[in-house]
Chains A and B, each alone.
Chain A
Amino acid sequence: MANLKDLRAKISSTKKTQQTTRAMKMVSAAKLRRAQDSVVNARPYALKLRSFIQKLASCPEVSHPLLDSSPIKGKTLLLVLTSDRGLCGGFNSGINKYTVQYASQKSKNDFDVIFLGKRGADFFRKRDFPTIDEIHGLAKTISFDVAQEISERVLKSYLGGEYSEVRIIYNEFKSAISQEVIDERLLPVSLEGGSNEDYTSTDFIFEPSIQSMLDELLRKHFAIQVFRCLQESVASEHGARMSAMENATKNAGEMISSLTLNYNKLRQAKITTELIEITSGAEAL
């Protein structure tokens, strides 16, 4: 049985932990808001760009290697998006679990992985994975430039024929308290769904040529896709951390109240025994 002093120390340390988790929750909530805004702001651009490409691609005279969706023969490049820091509930473990499962269905020569975010990279370092690169420090600055750099690199190896497919695994931002692991194909670009309008109906002027424009647009589209996934992932991370810290704060509160109850009980028992001792001492006289 713990003595009073131990209990007191435990209560005060739990209180301090609670303070930290509460502060972390507040910080995440603020960051989440910003990240959420940027996710929402980026959407119209991505949608417009997509409809642009769809319309261009429907012209009969165009074709492009990035659009070629013949059956996949070669290697797959996997981009795995995690966070750099922990303490965010199931955010990273969900991704890691999915990736392990994905890998178990394929042979090691079928795919290569680029880890974006430290957590995923750390997890798989010991697991003998075909990792070709790790990129860290994404959460601090999700600028379009970073996304463009990544996308240009991936495009280069894709167009060089190294890979025949590029997939991304990331957490999609559903709401502040829920996120979902998504496995999405980035390349070749699939254009299913969306509008059926095209540029063939009206007599259009294209400057410069339609082919070179499509090429640029597709590159841009890919960069935007990467950018969007990064943003979604960062927003989810903050959301996940916020709810994890919220839970931690609540649990700490429960622990404090049960510890305090114990402490009071013990204190009272001690007083009672002291009183009995005094009265029985007095009786003996």
Chain B
Amino acid sequence: MGLELTLVTPRKKIVTDLPVKNVKVPGFRGELDILEGHAALVTTLSTGVLEYKEFGTEKVGHAAISWGYVEVIDDKVTILAETAETAEEIDLKRANIALEGARERMKNTQDLLREQRKFERAQARIEAAQTRKH
């Protein structure tokens, strides 16, 4: 049966109870590949790309997420992300602009952490958007 994936953000529900084969998430301590029969787990997520393979159709979905939580219990994966954008919705051009902007601002800013987070977010968006092509 595989896993059931639910991905929600404050803005919208992206997927609910979608049967998937695996979910790759950017975990607190590096990338985490969750498969069927995973031990019960609760962890924080960092900014990065989420990847899942749909059950049956083998379709691979990507989404750029920033900071959130994942809960794995009885083969149910629930992800609460602050923001999540699927690869299809990302505007690559804008992401590139955001990346450059953040890189520039990081050189002289009071709030380095904030710019760093923006930079990471833009990076994740670009990475997710690039998966579309191949």
| Residues of B near any A CB (own CB < 8 A) | 6, 8-13, 16, 27-29, 39-44, 69, 71, 73, 78, 80, 82
- For residue A224, which residues in chain B have a CB less than 8 angstroms away from its CB? 10
Q: Which residue of B lies closest to A212 (CB)?
A: B44
- 11 pairs across A/B with beta carbons < 8 Å? A44-B13, A45-B9, A45-B13, A46-B10, A52-B71, A52-B80, A199-B42, A202-B73, A207-B41, A208-B44, A224-B10
A52 to B8, CA, bound (A): 13
Give chain B residues whose Cβ lies under 8 Å from the Cβ of A48: 6, 8, 78, 80
Contact of A45 with B41 at beta-carbon distance under 8 Å, contacts A52-B71, A202-B73, A207-B28 already known: no
Q: Are the CB atoms of A42 and B11 closer together than 8 Å? A: yes
Out of B12, B16, B42, B80, name the residue touching A207 (CB < 8 Å): B42
How far is it, in angstroms, between the C-alpha of A212 and the C-alpha of B29 when the chains are bound?
A: 15
The reply to whether A204 and B80 contact each other, CB–CB distance below 8 Å, is no
A107 → chain B closest CB, angstroms: 38
Docked-complex contact B42 and A204, CB < 8 angstroms: yes
B12 adjacent to A213 (CB under 8 Å): no
Interface size class of A (residues with CB under 8 A): 20 to 34
A144 lies within 8 A of B8 (CB): no
B13 to chain A minimum Cβ distance, whole angstroms, is 5
Q: Are A205 and B40 neighbours in the complex by a CB distance under 8 Å?
A: yes
How distant is the Cα of A216 from the Cα of B43 in the complex, in angstroms? 12
Instruction: Report B-chain residues with C-beta under 8 Å of the C-beta of A217.
Output: 69
Contact with B along A46-64 (1 / 0, CB 8 A): 1011001000100000000
Asked if A128 is at the interface (CB within 8 A of a chain B CB), the reply is no
Name B44's contact: one of A46, A49, A56, A207 (CB within 8 Å): A207
A52 contacts B69, C-beta separation under 8 Å? yes
Residue of A nearest to B28 (CB): A207
Given the known interface contacts A205-B40, A206-B43, the answer about A38 and B11 at a Cβ–Cβ threshold of 8 Å is yes
> Closest approach, in angstroms, between the C-beta of B30 and any C-beta of chain A?
11
- In-complex Cβ contact of B42 among A38, A45, A49, A206 (8 A): A206
Interface residues of A in 171-216 (CB under 8 A from B): 199, 202-208, 213, 216
Is the Cβ of A203 less than 8 Å from the Cβ of B44?
A: no
In the bound assembly, the distance between CA atoms of A162 and B37 in angstroms comes to 48
Q: Which residues of A contact B6 (CB under 8 A)?
A: 48
CA–CA, A144 and B73, complex, Å = 28
Contacts of A207 in B (CB 8 A): 27-29, 41-44
Given the complex of chains A and B, what is the CA–CA distance between A217 and B12 in angstroms? 19
Distance in Å from the Cβ of B108 to the closest Cβ of chain A?
Answer: 23
Kindly list the 3 A-B residue pairs having the minimum CB-CB distance in the complex, ordered from nearest: A207-B43, A41-B12, A45-B8
* Nearest chain B CB to A136 CB, angstrom units: 23
Q: Which chain B positions have C-beta within 8 A of A205?
A: 39-43
Chain A residue, CB-CB nearest to B38: A205
Q: In the bound complex, how far is the Cα of B11 from the Cα of A38, in angstroms?
A: 7
> B37 → chain A, closest Cβ, in Å?
13
